[in-house]
């Protein structure tokens, strides 16, 4: 066995934030809210939106959905890394996970690399736990992107970046 076989290859992973990146949630007055503020029971209104018991709506971001779909079609590994956990609620009742299930997206994310944590969670710590992976985080929040890049195995980009898909594909090819 040569020494190259002892070194595991670094796997590139595209990591998506959830709130305000993968989907946008609004209350019945069209004010932005977090997914954890959605009130059960949730229901699928149509292919691109989920409603809740009090009139709030969560809409799938078409840019994020299109990118995720393309990446999965090309057999790239994707995960979600979110600090949108509702404190004190079990996994089965987390609104963010319920929304992903309603949109039919949960199965597209690698469960061993995906994480939904409470708001004090630092995403860079998650990336550092996976030293054999290189991550590209797609996130709406500039503070979170800067913090995530403190991990030496993460580059972070804005979901609203022009030509985002091209940038992601170029990164995957390097």
Residue 73 near residue 107, CB atoms below 8 Å: no
pLDDT 10s digits, 72-114: 999 999 999 999 998 888 888 999 999 999 999 999 999 999 9
Looking at the DSSP assignment, which residues form a beta bridge with residue 155?
136
Q: Give the integer Cα–Cα distance in Å for 38 and 55.
A: 9
pLDDT 10s digits, 134-153: 999 999 999 999 999 999 99
Give the chain's domains with CATH numbers.
3-21+61-92+105-173 (3.40.50.1000)
Going by C-beta distance under 8 Å and a sequence separation of 6 or more, which residues neighbour residue 174? none
Per-position b or e across 84-97, b if 16+ CB within 10 A of its CB: bbbeeeeeeebbbb
pLDDT 10s digits, 23-65: 999 999 999 999 999 999 999 999 899 999 999 999 999 999 9
The whole-model pTM stands at: 0.91
């Amino acid at each position: 066995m040569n020494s190259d076989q002892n070194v595991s290859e670094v796997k590139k992973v595209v990591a998506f934030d959830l709130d305000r990146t993968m989907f946008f949630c609004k209350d019945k007055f069209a004010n932005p809210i977090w997914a954890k503020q959605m009130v059960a029971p949730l229901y699928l209104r149509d292919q691109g939106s989920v409603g809740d018991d009090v009139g709030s709506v969560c809409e799938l971001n078409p840019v994020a959905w299109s990118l995720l779909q393309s990446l999965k079609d090309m057999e790239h590994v994707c995960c979600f890394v979110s600090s949108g956990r509702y404190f004190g609620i079990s996994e089965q009742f987390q609104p963010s996970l319920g929304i992903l299930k309603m949109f039919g997206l949960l199965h597209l994310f690698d469960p061993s690399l995906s994480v939904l944590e409470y708001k004090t969670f630092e995403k860079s710590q998650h990336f550092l736990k996976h030293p054999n992976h290189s991550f590209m985080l797609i996130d709406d929040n500039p503070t979170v992107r800067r913090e995530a890049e403190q991990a030496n195995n993460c580059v972070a980009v804005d979901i609203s970046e022009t030509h985002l898909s091209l940038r992601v594909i170029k990164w995957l090819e390097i």
